[in-house]
Structure 1
Amino acid sequence: MTTDPTGPTDPTDPTEPSAPVDLSRIVKAYDVRGVVPDQWDESTAELFGAAFVRLTGARAVVTGHDMRPSSPGLSGAFARGAAAQGADVTEIGLCSTDQLYYASGALDLPGAMFTASHNPARYNGIKLCRAGAAPVGQDTGLTEIRALVEGWLTTGAPAPAARPGTLTRRDTLADYAAHLRGLVDLTAIRPLKVVVDAGNGMGGHTVPSVFAGLPLDLVPMYFELDGTFPNHEANPLDPDNLVDLQKRVREEGADLGLAFDGDADRCFVVDENGDPVSPSAITALVAARELARNGGRGTVIHNLITSWSVPEVVREHGGSPVRTRVGHSFIKAEMARTGAIFGGEHSAHYYFRDFWNADTGMLAALHVLAALGGQHGPLSALVSSYDRYAGSGEINSTVADQQARLAALRAAYEGRPGITLDDLDGLTVTAADWWFNVRPSNTEPLLRLNAEARDEATMTRIRDEALTLIRT
């Protein structure tokens, strides 16, 4: 460990933005994200560091960054801004987002992770959290941070504190890996062959340490850290980005495949046939295991577009399901409010009480390995009991007027016998053997449709009926 009370943490000179910074374009509901240097740069990151310390009142913070070319410089600038306001900064360097959450929880410090997740190479961003990995979003501090930075962009940087903070390097990878392995019993699993596609993202950094010592024949794909993403986008939610993994699983005769996104906080699973396993099925599987760990009792959070199978499995295993809006801030808020042991989303974000209510795809992957390795059947058979219905997946439609199309959907279904409507998040229409949800995007002129039914024919009919109303 080295300590430097004054100097920068990265020798790269700050870049200049090509236009005045417009924070309305980069400060999103849950994070900061935009093109570097066009929309923001290191000088802006330094102001965010100062604002973060002002908001939290923290005497110390922790920072980390992914493998994007701009990440070390932005992270270092943020650290300088935080230190100038009197905070001691622990820099953990290259890490996954859930490794940063681990550091925030284990060190009990507010944290900042520099990543743009699965976005293209020119993008970068900041995911912020309070001590114990508690989220910072639009309603929990990000609006105030934006206001401070906007003011300083006009008036100049804030005056430094009388005592500047220190900048300290610390490696947390081994401790992070040990913590995760301590949360899942993998001692008795059978040997498994697993293909992992890291997408040139941070999974290539964390997987070797987390999987070390386990009876796994690991077949790595795209483990070279490269923020230009030379092989494919690091976004496994897009089926096109799973093609390489699916092919390799079949070629290798592997037991399963795992795909991580760019900052490795999400994990997607394919079975021994190369077929994708629904994140809802993974949510149900992990929920059953977490309930078993807790004596068959506990609350499990799921968002409103996960499969019907999730609350069914939770109840079957003695738990209490709680339905919430889409988005990690809502999941984490409900986790904290209810004392939930686990939460899952359709987007392959998985949240654990024993991981400070934060999301970690790596821990979900360990649960899948433990479940598969603890019995002798293939993964496809194991997950079949958790994958009970026909789902459409998320379908996006560009519309001129989101609210007008939602109103048309409501008018078409309201008052029909046996159908209920609710507005928890967008519009959800539910019947005895099907449901669909339509949500407006907050950042684009899109409506997002998810539909599910007890059989494929019914799902197709309901999906197409809703799409006709959306796109008319």
Structure 2
Amino acid sequence: MKFGTSGLRGLVSDMTDEVCAEYAAAFVEHLRAAGRTPEAILIGRDLRPSSPRIAEACAGALIARGIQVIDCGALPTPALALASATRGMPAIMVTGSHIPFDRNGLKFYRADGEITKADEAGMLAALGAGAPAATPAEVVSDENAARLYLRRGVGFFPAGALEGKRIGVYQHSAVGRDLTLESLRALGADVIPLGRAETFVPIDTEAVRPEDEELARGWCAEHGLDAVVSTDGDGDRPLIGDETGTFLRGDVVGVLAARYLGAEAVATPVSSNTVLERSGWFPRISRTKIGSPYVIEAMESLTAGGAGLTVGYEANGGFLLGGPVTGATGATLAPLATRDAMLPILAILAMAAESGRPLSGLAADLPPRFTASDRLAEFAPARSRSLLDALASDEAARAGLLAAIGVAGTAVDLTDGVRMTLENDEIAHLRASGNAPELRCYAEAATPERAREMVAALLARAGEMAPAA
């Protein structure tokens, strides 16, 4: 078990009832040490087979410490986060997000938002702390959190905003699959449910599987869709395909959603497309390490520095809203500084509808910069460390890697992994995943074909340079 870019992750086989209870207890003890002893904690979960058991183990640890548990059931992570912020209560979400179903995880929220890296350290220090004597509490069921989340998204947009649009929803095993259908229908769209699955499907919005791309193209052609949308397993990363079934990259979604909402300041990791800066749309930009805690920290700094509406997004498309936004109808959208999939989905679809252009035309105003990403799965952390250390410190190692794509490097950024700017203005970026034993690669180029070609060649060369033991 380890904290990654967002939350605690591990193999299900390692997430025993005892281990999960220990981390839930450590969360409580950390809050108590900070003078924020909770009376109640919200718990939610995704649709992974292991999630109900893990949620029950966490609830048991809280109850034993006199903390009332409010069971919000199966719902998207941002829905639980919104309920946490609205009710002023901490929360625990049981989810492994997009990673394979043999793994799972826990995401923790204070009453005022996501836990920070400092909170993670405090929780680790509190592991194994003895529990004070307490009268066992109780579990209360509350199904209103999901409805609150639906109303927040739909209520911001004009009635009938998607009237006349035919939209497919790739449901697979996403926990918010029915909420997505309902939200789109509430705005007037003709919605086609597609690909519902009863077994868990690991949808990674940063590395879309070829079979999912093929499904999207087929569905758009078969049903005459204007768009096909989906999310990852816990509903905090969007996946948006245009009328041809071609998926928009998450970092392009982030730029367009920020533009639609009128953001003045944007925080995003170094892995996101530089079209953000090249667009000239945003007066203030902050680049961060990869992970929502870093994006949130940068958003807070931008706001404290006098920036207007501040938003954040990640290369996976997860969108964070740092302040309230009032729309054309006078409705106000409440801030939600955690990754969200519903807002960018609705914003992009509304943007296309209002402009009278197809989704494929939305990026026409952006400079021609394209990103691609993929990963080497089951790539041991030790292999990643060895390779990245060599690339960070040895120019010859970087040259050996870049020889695979035939371009030399001119600058190196070590903010998160090794990010190399090349002599032809392309970008190559390698880093270890914070959530799974994977080596991730990101590339940016003038065409999507070149970006994909770069990723494939760089990963192949990386595997050769860091052979398995």
Matches within 5 A, 1:105-254: 105-132=85-112, 134-136=113-115, 139-149=117-127, 151=128, 158-161=131-134, 163-171=135-143, 172-185=145-158, 187-223=160-196, 226=198, 228-229=199-200, 232-236=201-205, 237-240=207-210, 241-254=212-225
Matches within 5 A, 1:320-469: 320-339=284-303, 341-353=310-322, 354-386=334-366, 388-396=368-376, 399=383, 401-402=386-387, 403-409=389-395, 419-430=410-421, 431=423, 433-442=425-434, 447-455=439-447
Q: Which amino acid aligns with 1:238?
A: V
Matches within 5 A, 1:93-104: 93-104=73-84
Instruction: Tell me the residue number matched to 1:303.
Output: 269
Instruction: Tell me the residue number matched to 1:32.
Output: 8
Counterparts of 1:312 and 1:183, CA distance in 2: 29
Q: Which amino acid aligns with 2:138?
A: T
Counterparts of 1:463 and 1:219, CA distance in 2: 33
Instruction: Tell me the residue number matched to 1:282.
Output: 253
Unaligned runs of 5+ in 1: 1-24
How far is 1:188 from its partner?
A: 4.1
Instruction: Tell me the residue number matched to 2:330.
Output: none
Change (3 A) 1:59 1:160: same
SS of the equivalent of 1:359 reads strand
Matches within 5 A, 1:16-27: 25-27=1-3
Change (3 A) 1:214 1:446: closer
Change (3 A) 1:460 1:394: closer
Counterparts of 1:299 and 1:419, CA distance in 2: 28
How far is 1:442 from its partner?
A: 4.8
Unaligned runs of 5+ in 2: 32-36, 304-308, 323-333, 400-406
Asked if 2 retains the 8 angstrom alpha-carbon contact of 1:197 and 1:259, the reply is yes
Asked if 1 retains the 8 angstrom alpha-carbon contact of 2:159 and 2:188, the reply is no
How far is 1:26 from its partner?
A: 4.8
How far is 1:223 from its partner?
A: 3.8
How far is 1:220 from its partner?
A: 0.7
Counterparts of 1:440 and 1:118, CA distance in 2: 16
Counterparts of 2:394 and 2:159, CA distance in 1: 51
Comparing 64-73 and 171-180, the one that deviates more? 64-73
How far is 1:189 from its partner?
A: 4.1
Counterparts of 2:85 and 2:215, CA distance in 1: 35
How far is 1:306 from its partner?
A: 1.3
Change (3 A) 1:390 1:219: same
Q: TM-score, normalised by structure 1?
A: 0.81
Q: Which amino acid aligns with 1:386?
A: L
Change (3 A) 1:332 1:424: same
Counterparts of 2:202 and 2:451, CA distance in 1: 30
Number of residue pairs matched by the alignment: 427
Asked if 2 retains the 8 angstrom alpha-carbon contact of 1:303 and 1:326, the reply is yes
Comparing 42-51 and 280-289, the one that deviates more? 42-51
Counterparts of 2:204 and 2:254, CA distance in 1: 19
Q: Which amino acid aligns with 1:45?
A: C
| CA deviations over 1:353-384 (Å, ceiling 9, x no partner) | 24331111111101011112213221111223
Counterparts of 2:316 and 2:21, CA distance in 1: 31
Counterparts of 1:357 and 1:411, CA distance in 2: 39
Change (3 A) 1:463 1:256: closer
Q: Which amino acid aligns with 2:269?
A: N
Instruction: Tell me the residue number matched to 1:45.
Output: 20
Instruction: Tell me the residue number matched to 1:263.
Output: 234
Counterparts of 1:461 and 1:173, CA distance in 2: 41
SS of the equivalent of 2:97 reads coil
Counterparts of 1:278 and 1:328, CA distance in 2: 18
Change (3 A) 1:465 1:341: same
Counterparts of 1:363 and 1:463, CA distance in 2: 29
Instruction: Tell me the residue number matched to 1:3.
Output: none
| CA deviations over 1:57-93 (Å, ceiling 9, x no partner) | 2222111111223322321231221122222222211
Counterparts of 1:357 and 1:288, CA distance in 2: 17
Change (3 A) 1:69 1:412: closer
Counterparts of 1:465 and 1:118, CA distance in 2: 25
- Supply the RMSD in Å over aligned alpha carbons: 3.0
Counterparts of 1:461 and 1:271, CA distance in 2: 22
Amino-acid identity (%): 23
How far is 1:326 from its partner?
A: 1.3
| CA deviations over 1:366-417 (Å, ceiling 9, x no partner) | 101111221322111122333622434245495572212433347757xx99
